[in-house]
Chains A and B, each alone.
Chain A
Amino acid sequence: GAGVSQSPRYKVTKRGQDVALRCDPISGHVSLYWYRQALGQGPEFLTYFNYEAQQDKSGLPNDRFSAERPEGSISTLTIQRTEQRDSAMYRCASSEGYSNQPQHFGDGTRLSIL
């Protein structure tokens, strides 16, 4: 596709359930980022992949959060045993991977935990 695609657009689930959020980056983009954006705030970094390698996961809040990108393209962010505080917009971005290359953001997944 032409841009970064995220699915689902909206996810409502009950507290304690596991959720998986998907990101399909721009074709050929080497770098992939996950951010979380609270209402009225800027995105906050969660984790970063270069090809299939998770290079930085310093922004993941706790061990309930994990991400993978097994074939260096599509990535999945998984949240286990969801809590209400996990409710937010989750955004994925991709870039060509060279320095100064812009990050292109998807339209996000709005996660609501009841």
Chain B
Amino acid sequence: QQQVKQSPQSLIVQKGGISIINCAYENTAFDYFPWYQQFPGKGPALLIAIRPDVSEKKEGRFTISFNKSAKQFSLHIMDSQPGDSATYFCAASRVQGAQKLVFGQGTRLTINP
């Protein structure tokens, strides 16, 4: 059962544009929502994370928007740069206990110069 659905599968954005990746989850017990960035040949690296007690979190050019009632959250990358080209994964888990992450399928982002 796919508990976290991510879209789109791939995304092409011009340099300077806004990249938006969306995720939806099913399990209402999830209360921790991180985004991971993965470059070819490397493991996923934590980019930014949010708890459901806030609707938005911003770190530099990266913003997570969270909609608890819709069970959706999204990543916005402002002023996208070629160096942002990577695969992005959303994930969800419970804070308490094992914190085993449930990942989305990934979005391959390409920023054209």
Interface residues of A (CB under 8 A from B): 4, 31, 33, 35, 40-45, 48, 55-56, 59, 91, 93, 95, 99-100, 102-108
Contacts and interface: CB of A to CB of B under 8 A. Distances in A.
A42 B91 contact: yes
Nearest to A43: B103
Residue among A35, A42, A105 having the largest count of chain B Cβ atoms under 10 Å: A42
Contact of B100 (A45, A106, A108): A45
Contact of A31 (B43, B49, B99): B99
B46 interface: yes
Given A56-B100, A107-B42, A99 B95 contact: yes
24 contacts: A4-B43, A31-B99, A33-B100, A35-B101, A41-B106, A42-B4, A42-B104, A43-B44, A43-B89, A43-B101, A48-B100, A55-B98, A59-B100, A91-B43, A91-B44, A99-B95, A100-B32, A100-B95, A102-B34, A103-B99, A104-B45, A105-B36, A105-B43, A107-B42
Given A99-B96, A100-B32, A102-B34, A45 B42 contact: no
Residue among B34, B43, B45, B51 having the largest count of chain A Cβ atoms under 10 Å: B43
A40 B106 contact: yes
A33 B96 CA distance: 15
A5 to B, nearest CB: 11
Given A31-B99, A48-B100, A55-B98, 18 more contacts: A4-B43, A40-B105, A42-B105, A42-B106, A44-B103, A45-B102, A48-B98, A95-B99, A99-B95, A99-B96, A100-B51, A102-B34, A103-B46, A103-B99, A103-B101, A105-B36, A107-B41, A108-B43
